[in-house]
Amino acid sequence: MNKKLIAIAIGAALGTLPLASQAGVKIYGHAQVEVADESVDSNLTGGTGNCPTFSTVDGGTWQDCRTVEDNARGRWGIKASEKLGNGMKAFAQFEWKLDTTEFKGSTTNRVMQVGLKGGWGTFMAGSLKSPYKYTGGVKYDPFVTTNAEARRNGGMSGGVYGHNGFVSNSIGYMTPKMNGFQGWIIYSPDEDGHSSRGDDGDWAASLKFSAGNWEVFVAGVNNEYNGSSSATTSDYSAWKIGGKVKFGNHTFLVQYEDANNFGQVKDRDGRILFLGYHLKSGNNLFVVQFGDGKLDCGKATSCPVNPQDAEWTYWTVGAIHKFSKTARAFAAFSRTSVDNAYYGQPLVGKTSDDGDRQAFTIGLRKDFST
């Protein structure tokens, strides 16, 4: 009875009351606020004002001040499902990004999909999750969507074809689990437009094997270049391998990425290693993470005549306390050190090539669903 009342109240507030009262329809969401002290070396110039902001190559930002942020955790969505018989189910999902900290923040689309699920696997179509992002990837980072996350800070690749965003105009298939194996692939056959988030020929795929307390995986992604061909541009592709193993309260995680033509710049090739360690103690999770990356300049016109490889390291230490399955508080310290950043990763457009970014953050998160 209480769940029905909650659904009706949330549905009325969001303008979805008729949906909330139907069978097989669920409303859900996340709310998060964190307070962080971020500091970027002054020699990494590029920001102005009371809170200088430094853009990263994959769409993120580093700021030099105290901030109150959501960091892309805020969201709400609707899931609908219908049993069709013979073990098959039809489903649909709409999910939007919200900013918990902004009075006039706008909503943006996240997962938008319709599909069928049965003993043969799952078929989906729409704006989809990427197997590259969600196999290992963000699932290995307890601090994802915080100031201490690995992606956008040097621990994992960013961008839609890395570990940010979703792939539009796509169809996908996920196999059922078979003797520990599970495959997942998405593909965009769309030829109508040139979307930076998924169009003609783009794909991502993964294969994972899990058994008991361990798993291993391999994943790949490809972003076709649809602009006018030139000597400096090419298709972007990447692959990664990784896995995790759990011994009692201890979990060890690893992921290695190899990317070609990063940002669709020809010969801008790189690699990123991510390592993680988790210690579970009661309702607390203690986390240590490390990342190490390297990137060639490639054939971009902004590259110097004899460029040095861009190199960086990332690390985070922190803790998460779960009050319940849906409420948590967290605190973390994160640092990224960059060498030779003047041509692109993980910083863009800076007048100096070396520097550090560090952040101390504390936050509170609440998940909900009807």
For the stretch 154-191, pLDDT in tens is 899 988 889 988 999 999 999 999 999 999 999 998 75
Q: Is residue 229 very low, low, confident or very high in pLDDT (cuts 50, 70, 90)? A: low
Q: Supply the pLDDT for residue 173.
A: 99
Alpha helical stretches, state H, the chain: 2-14, 17-20, 131-134
- Rounded Cα distance, 312 and 347, in Å: 10
* 218, containing H or E segment: strand 214-223
In sequence order, the β-bridge partners of residue 85 are 88
Query: Which of these ranges, 13-17, 211-215, 345-349, has the smallest mean pLDDT?
Result: 345-349
Q: Supply the pLDDT for residue 299.
A: 67
Residues in the chain: 370
- Rounded Cα distance, 195 and 37, in Å: 35
Structural domain containing residue 165: 30-369
Please give the average per-residue pLDDT across 224-231, as a whole number.
71
- Residue in 194, 27, 219, 197 with CA at minimum distance from that of residue 127: 197
Q: Supply the pLDDT for residue 288.
A: 99
Q: How many domains does the chain have?
A: 1
- Rounded Cα distance, 290 and 217, in Å: 19
Distances 98 to 41, 72, 102, 205 between C-alpha atoms, Å: 31, 7, 9, 28
Tell me whether residue 16 is in a domain.
no
Mean pLDDT is highest, among 95-109, 172-186, 261-275, for 172-186
For the entire predicted model, the pTM comes to 0.87
- Rounded Cα distance, 368 and 360, in Å: 27
Alpha helical stretches, state H, 309-348: none
- Rounded Cα distance, 16 and 251, in Å: 41
Q: Supply the pLDDT for residue 347.
A: 44
In sequence order, the β-bridge partners of residue 121 are 118
8 Å CB contact between 208 and 175: no
Distances 224 to 29, 152, 186, 257 between C-alpha atoms, Å: 33, 22, 14, 19
Q: Supply the pLDDT for residue 235.
A: 85
Tell me whether residue 172 is in a domain.
yes
Buried b (16+ CB within 10 A) or exposed e, 235-266: ebbbbbebbbeeeeeebebbbebebbbbbbbb
pLDDT at residue 62 tops 90: no
CATH number of the structural domain spanning residue 282: 2.40.160.10
Tell me whether residue 199 is in a domain.
yes
Tell me whether residue 176 is in a domain.
yes
pLDDT at residue 208 tops 60: yes
Please give the average per-residue pLDDT across 146-158, as a whole number.
91
Tell me whether residue 6 is in a domain.
no
Tell me whether residue 21 is in a domain.
no
The per-residue pLDDT for range 304-354, each reduced to its tens digit, is: 656 677 888 999 999 999 999 999 999 999 999 888 765 444 443 344 457
Tell me whether residue 14 is in a domain.
no
Q: Supply the pLDDT for residue 106.
A: 77
| CB neighbour list of residue 140: distance below 8 Å, 6 or more residues apart | 242, 244, 253, 255, 274, 276
- Rounded Cα distance, 313 and 291, in Å: 6
Arithmetic mean of pLDDT over the chain: 85
